[in-house]
Amino acid sequence: MTEANSKRRTRGGGGAARRAERTAVSVETAKYIERNIPNFEILTPEALEIIEANAEKVLAEIGVNFVNNPVALERWREAGAEIDGERVRIPEGLARKLCETAPSSFVQHARNPARNVEIGGKNLVLAPVYGPPFVRDAEGGRRYATMADFRKFVKLGYMSKWLHHSGGTVCEPTDVPVNKRHLDMLLAHMTLSDKPFMGSVTEPSRAQDSVEMCEILFGKEFVQQNTVMTSLINVNSPLTFDDVMMGALEVYAKNNQACIVSPFIVGGAMAPVSVAGTLTQVLAEVMAGIAYSQLIKPGAPVIFGAFVTSIDMNSGAPTFGTPEASQILYGAGQLARRMGLPFRSGGGLCASKLPDAQAAYETTNTLNAALLGGVNFMLHACGWLEGGLVSSFEKFVMDADQLGVLHKLAQGVSVDEDAQAMGAIAEVGPGGHYLGCEHTQENFKTAFWRSEVFDYKPFETWDEEGARDTQTLASNRVARLLETYQQPALDPAIQAALEAYVAAKKESMPDAFM
Amino acid sequence: MTEANSKRRTRGGGGAARRAERTAVSVETAKYIERNIPNFEILTPEALEIIEANAEKVLAEIGVNFVNNPVALERWREAGAEIDGERVRIPEGLARKLCETAPSSFVQHARNPARNVEIGGKNLVLAPVYGPPFVRDAEGGRRYATMADFRKFVKLGYMSKWLHHSGGTVCEPTDVPVNKRHLDMLLAHMTLSDKPFMGSVTEPSRAQDSVEMCEILFGKEFVQQNTVMTSLINVNSPLTFDDVMMGALEVYAKNNQACIVSPFIVGGAMAPVSVAGTLTQVLAEVMAGIAYSQLIKPGAPVIFGAFVTSIDMNSGAPTFGTPEASQILYGAGQLARRMGLPFRSGGGLCASKLPDAQAAYETTNTLNAALLGGVNFMLHACGWLEGGLVSSFEKFVMDADQLGVLHKLAQGVSVDEDAQAMGAIAEVGPGGHYLGCEHTQENFKTAFWRSEVFDYKPFETWDEEGARDTQTLASNRVARLLETYQQPALDPAIQAALEAYVAAKKESMPDAFM
C-alpha cells in the first residue's frame, strides 16, 4: 500500500452528509474476496524464465510504438530507451526496474467507506461488464443501449451482494453524445450507488472531468491523497500505445488514480496463436505500459491487465471460455505475481448471443480460472454477453449470483474442532442421518452457499409453476431488484454540485457523436 | 499396474474377428487425458493429517456396519478387527495397511485395444451419466427411460470424441424387468460400442452374469488375467456396507475386475454439514471398503470414490456445482493420492430440470474441479440432468463437447521454440496483425480448441438462421450423430454367442419388476 493510500479519509461534508449516511437503507454487500486457498500455477519456473527473458528481448530488439506522443518519446529517451521515430526500444531490465515503484496493493476508496476495496495480494474485487453498445433482456430483445439502461445496471450492481464495485461503462449510453456520455455515466455511479467506480478513458479531457467530479464527491484534498478511481487503459496490441489511452493514463497517474494497463488480445490476430508467444507479448506490453506510468509518477497505482481470448479460425469470431484463454490467464497471473503487481483478468466472458447454456459453460470456465489464477480485479464479472457486444440484464443477475460460489470456495477449508465434526459422526453412527443432529442444527445456516436465482424445487412443483428456465427466473429477479431499489443517501449539497458540474460541462461544448 | 494387467491380450477370435476389425468404420476417440498440469491442492499437510487421524479414530471407535453379511464379519475378525453384532471396529492403521496391496493404476481393456484406458496416475478417463430412471429431449420432454433410449445413449457415447468409456446404466431401461435389464444393457455396450464399460452391481448374480458375458466377448482366460470392467459400488453412507453391494464387490474382486468404492453423500443428510467432517467420513468409508476388497483378493483393482453433494436446507433437495462440493472434491483427491489410489469424483453434475444456463453453470463448476482436483475416473461426465433423475440427450452432446476443453487445458503450456513464437512477434511487429503470418499459418489448425455445438457466427447470420439456443443446436447434433452412427464391427460368432447367452438367461427366470 502506498503511503497516501494508507491514510484515513479526512474529507468534510458536514452534518447533512453524516445524517444522510446514518439514514441510508442498508444493502448487503459482501467484503471483497480474501483468498484462503492457493493459486493454480500452470507454468514451471523454467517456463516463466523463458517467457520473461523473451519479453525483455521483445522490448529491447523489437520495441513498442508510442503513437502521436512526442512527450512520451522524450520521457522514454530520458529514462534510457532508444528512440527511432515512434518506436521505443527499452534496454533489457529497464522496464522491469521502472515497474518496481508501483505498489503491490492499493486501496480504492468508495464514498461509503464500508465499500472500500483493497486491490492486490490475495484479494479479488469483482466489477461488472464494461463497454457493450447493446443491451438485451427477455422482454425487449437486443437493442442499442441508452442512459436509462445504464442507470438500471448501476442499480442492479448496487443491489448485488457479491459485487464489490460499480464498474465503469456498464453499457454505452448511445442516446447521449459521445463527448458528454462520461458525465452522465459518472453521475449515475456517484449518486445511484455507493460502491467504488471507474473513470473515463476515451479522451484525456474526460479523464480530467472524472477527477474533477471525484473532487466534488470526495473533497479535493482527499482525491489527491487517495485512490478513488480505477480506470481501464487498453494497449493497442501488438505493442502499440496510442495517444488517447496514454493521455488518459497520464491524467490518472499524475492524480494518483489507478490504471489497469491491459493488452486487449484476440490470440491469432493481435498475438501469436501459441500460449507462450501470447504471454511473452502480454508481458512486454504490460511492462512497457506500467513502466511508463511510473515515469509519469513513481508510485502511481497500477494493475497488470490481461484480456485475452482466441479466435475461431473458421469464422474469425472471438471465442471465450476456451482452454487456451484459461492457460493464458493462469500464466499471466504467475507473471504478475513475480512482478509484485495486482492482476486483472477473467470475467463472465462468453460468445453466446443468449443467456443460455453456451453462455454459462463459457462464463463458468472463465470465472473458475480467474479465481484459481489469482486475479485481483475482475472486470466483466457479470452481465457480459455476445463477445462483449451486449450487456444482458438476465445474465447480470445470473452471473452475479454465481459470484457467491467464488466467495465460498475462496474461504478454503476449516479444520477447527467444530468443522471436524467428530461429535456428530459419533452421535449419528452407521446408518443414521445428520438432518436433526446438534452439529447440523448449529451450522446449517452458513454451511452451504445457496443460489438466489436457480430452481431447487422438486420437479412436480417446478412444473406446476410453469417449468421456468434460468432466463425466466433471472428476468423475474431483475424486475424484483429494480422495484425494491432505494438510492443510497448522499449529502444533497454534493448531489447538487455534481449535477451543476455536469450541466455546465454539457453546456460548454457542442454535441459530438463520433 | 498389476502383473496381470500388464500382459497383452491373447484371446483368439479367428479370421472373422480380424476381418471385422479391419473393415470397421473409424470413429475418432481421443486418448484418455494424461495431465501435464499440476493438481490443485486446497488442504494443507496439517489439515490432511488431522482428517486422516480422525478417519482412523472413526474406524476404531465408531466402526462400520457390514449388514446381512456373516462371511464378511468373519473375514474382518480374521484380519484383526473387533466384531460387535454387525459392527466392525478396525484398529488404527489396519485398514490403511490392507489398502496397500491395491494397485495405484490399472488398465481397463476394451474389445478394441485402441480404446483401452489406464485409470490412475495423472490420467483422467471420462464416462457418461449413470443411473437416471427418466430421459428428456427437446422433442419428447421428460419421460420414463426405455431400452431404446439406452441404445441411443450408447451410440452417442460411441460417437463422442472426448468420451473414453461407454459407462454402465446410462439410463434405467424401465421397460425391461429389473432382473433382466443388466443383460440387455451389457449386450448394448458390448455390441453397439467398442469402448470399455461397467458391469452390473444390483445383485451378486448379475455381477456374475456380467463376468460371464465378458468371458464370451474377451475370452475366458483373458478376463481372468485382465481387468475388462470397472463397476460402481456405492457405500450406504454413513458407514454402512450392505450385502448386495458387497456381494457384487466380492464377485468382481475375485475375478480381478475393478470396483469404485464410492460413498454416496448428500452433505448435511448422510454426512456432517462441514467439509472437514464429510472428508473424514468419506476417508473412513473408502478405507473400510477398499480394505475389504483386498481381503477378498489382494491386488484387486479399486478406485477411491467420492460422490458428494450438499443439501439445500430450504427445500431438502440435493444441490450440485456448489463451492462446498468442489472443496470436498479437491480434498478427497488429495486423500486418495496420499493413499496411492486412483480417484473417482466429479462429472457434469447439476440440479437443473432443463439443459439451460443453470445446468451449465453447475456442470462447469464440477467439470473444472474434477480436472484440477486430480480425478482419474469421471462418471457422469455428460448427460446428467435434474440431480441424476434424468438422462438428457441434448445435455449429453453439450457436455461431451465441453470435455474437449478439459483435454486441451490438461495438455499444459509448451515453451518449445515453436511455441515461443519469437519469429512471429518480430515478423509482425508493433501495429501489425498475426492472421497471415507464417507461424499462424503453420499452427492455427491445432492452436485452439473449437466447440462442435456452440454458435460462433456473427449476430446477423445467427439471427437469420433462427436465433437458435444451445438446446436447439444440441438437439440437431443428437439427430445428426444418430443418423450417421455405424455399428463397430464384431465377430459374428461372438455376437451370436452373446445374444444366445442373454436369451437363455432371460428364459431361465420369471420377470421381476422390483
pLDDT digits (tens, 9 = 90+) for A337-383: 999 999 999 999 999 999 999 999 999 999 999 999 999 999 999 99
Closest residue of chain A to B427, computed from CA coordinates:
A62
How much is the pLDDT for B3? 34
Candidates A355, A424, A458; nearest CB to B277: A424
Helix B275-296 / helix B45-57 crossing angle, nearest 10 deg:
60
Q: Based on the number of CB atoms within 10 Å of its own CB, is A161 exposed (0-12), middle (13-18) or buried (19 or more)? A: middle
Angstrom distance (rounded) from CA B494 to CA B110: 15
Cα B51 to Cα A2, A433, B262, B331, B359, distances in angstroms: 41, 21, 18, 10, 32
Beta carbons of A268 and B440 less than 8 Å apart: yes
Handedness of CA B91, B97, B101, B104 (dihedral sign): positive
Angstrom distance (rounded) from CA B195 to CA B226: 16
Give the single-character DSSP code of B431. T
- Pairs across A and B, CB distance < 8 A: 404
Which residues of chain A fall below pLDDT 50?
A: 1-13, 21-25
Give contacts of A312 with chain B, Cβ < 8 Å: 448, 450, 456
Yes or no: say if B74 and B262 are a contact pair by the CB < 8 Å rule. Answer: no
Q: Provide the mean pLDDT of chain B.
A: 94
Q: Based on the number of CB atoms within 10 Å of its own CB, is A26 exposed (0-12), middle (13-18) or buried (19 or more)? A: exposed
Give contacts of A277 with chain B, Cβ < 8 Å: 419-422, 424-425, 439
Give contacts of B331 with chain A, Cβ < 8 Å: 413
What dihedral angle (degrees, nearest 10) is formed by the CA atoms of B468, B471, B475, B481?
110
How much is the pLDDT for B23? 45
Give contacts of B462 with chain A, Cβ < 8 Å: 353
Give contacts of A372 with chain B, Cβ < 8 Å: 40, 372
Yes or no: say if A375 and A308 are a contact pair by the CB < 8 Å rule. Answer: no
- 0.90 surpassed by pTM: yes
How much is the pLDDT for B305? 98
How much is the pLDDT for A11? 45
Beta carbons of B314 and A456 less than 8 Å apart: yes
Beta carbons of B457 and A46 less than 8 Å apart: no
Closest residue of chain B to A458, computed from CA coordinates:
B317
Beta carbons of A449 and B268 less than 8 Å apart: no
How much is the pLDDT for B255? 97
Which residues of chain B fall below pLDDT 50?
A: 1-13, 21-25
Closest residue of chain B to A40, computed from CA coordinates:
B40
Strand partners, B400: none
Candidates B356, B363, B419; nearest CB to A356: B356
Give contacts of A432 with chain B, Cβ < 8 Å: 238
Closest residue of chain B to A309, computed from CA coordinates:
B448
How much is the pLDDT for B11? 45
Q: What is the pLDDT of residues A297-321, one digit of tens each?
A: 999 999 999 998 988 888 888 999 9
Closest residue of chain A to B447, computed from CA coordinates:
A273
Candidates B239, B323, B445; nearest CB to A430: B239
